Amino acid sequence: MKDIKKIIYDGYEYIDGGVCAAKGFCANGLYSGIKENPSKKFDLCLVVSDELCNAAAVFTQNKVQAAPVTVSKAHLAATGGKAKAFILNSKNANACNTDGIEKSEKMCELAAQRLCVPAEQILIAQTGVIGQTMPIEPIEDNIDSLVYGLSYDGNEKAAIAIMTTDTVKKEVAVEFTLDGKICRVGGMGKGSGMICPNMATTLNVITTDCAVSSQMLKKALSDVVKVTYNCLYIDGDQSTNDTCAVMANGLAGNTIIDSENEDYKIFKQALYIVMSNITKMLAKDGEGATKLLECNVSGAKTEKDALAVAKSVIASDLFKCAMFGEDANVGRIACAIGYADAEFDITKFCVELSSSKGCIEFFREGAIVPFSEEKAAVMLSDDEIKINITLADGDAEATAWGCDLTYDYVKINGDYRT
């Protein structure tokens, strides 16, 4: 996204600020020493609202769920969907530890004591190595600095603190008008590996000053996740820690959204813009990636069928390798379309690939179309490739995002712990 210039998009403007763009949200990030880190990269952050928020979250579908997932679920249940702050750390996932719940609860308690609120109003997310004991001492030693350093401009520090193998921070925010009031939605995310469809969110925090009930937040988040983060594929491994939470403090002053009215649709679109942009950022920064891949499927009988085909193509390791090699081995696309769990007529599908360097049709009515290898090589040399598939069986459509599969992915994961 642009960092300085605002861009108008159908009544929404991209703005700076990430999780601090919305009124009443502050943040901070710092290096605490959770893991020995010679470069002293940030590994701990906190996002806080001036007012108690209505909140909602979605979590990993992995049966092995990390302690912070269990704790955040319990806190949301205990408060009836309320939250004041979100504490996060990188370097250690606090997963599969006998004292994991205790450590996650302790982190929430430390933050809550400094903020003078109940511990149940603190959400938590953690990321890093699975199966390593989480040290609580770095949190205890640095919690005062973390809280006292909170700033309404602290979004960048927070976004950096949740990075693991990420090469760039990921944050975006939009501004829009609702009920005559200026409202904002902003977010930050992290993730480069251990990402596959169905809660591929890794860690994501979304904030808004829009007044929205917890029930409507939950519905909007659930619906938008299905067509954004759940359509993201890097490597087929589903994390134990995936968490995406949205907090709404209502400071924009709009009439609270407590039903699926027109205001709800406007808010939901803002949420979609933020989450879809972060999804693309996550895909482009996949571990070792050199190309962002976007698969657009149209003409399906149902959205379920369109999603199945899009995910099938974006998840094909053979296709991902071909894109890394800039090889127009498009038979791999047809193969992935064919084994997708979807209903369609195989004699009708059409495929074209496009980038800023050209657009080439490869399949028409289920059969290969002659093409220039030279032009295909030029088109595939770009760092963003779109795969456009038409099934010609209906009106439903869907999009999935991913990246190429490279030598560096193996290198990164071959010595991840060190």
Residues assigned a catalytic role: 201
CA 253 vs CA 30, 80, 183, 219, 231: distances in Å: 32, 22, 9, 21, 33
Q: Any idea what DSSP says for residue 92? A: B
Strands 122-126, 82-89: pairing is parallel
CA distance 211 to 249: 6
How many Å apart are CA 404 and CA 131, to the nearest integer?
29
User: Which residue has 């939950």 as its token pair?
Assistant: 218
Residue 414's CB: how many other CB atoms inside 10 A? 8
Position of tokens 């179309």?
369
CB count within 10 Å of CB 399 equals: 20
Do the Cβ atoms of 389 and 295 come closer than 8 Å? yes
Half-sphere exposure of 198 (CA within 13 A, CB side): 10
Burial label for 124, CB within 10 Å (0-12, 13-18, 19+), is buried
Q: Minimal CA–CA distance to 12: which of 294, 339, 276, 244?
A: 276
Residue 258, burial from CB neighbour count under 10 angstroms (0-12, 13-18, 19+): middle
d(CA 16, CA 175): 10
Which one, of 290, 300, 294, lies nearest residue 381 by Cα?
290
Q: Rounded to an integer, what distance in angstroms lies between the CA atom of residue 250 and that of residue 158?
A: 22
Residue 307: name the closest of 316, 295, 318 by CA: 295
Residue 353 exposure: Cα atoms within 13 Å on the Cβ side: 33
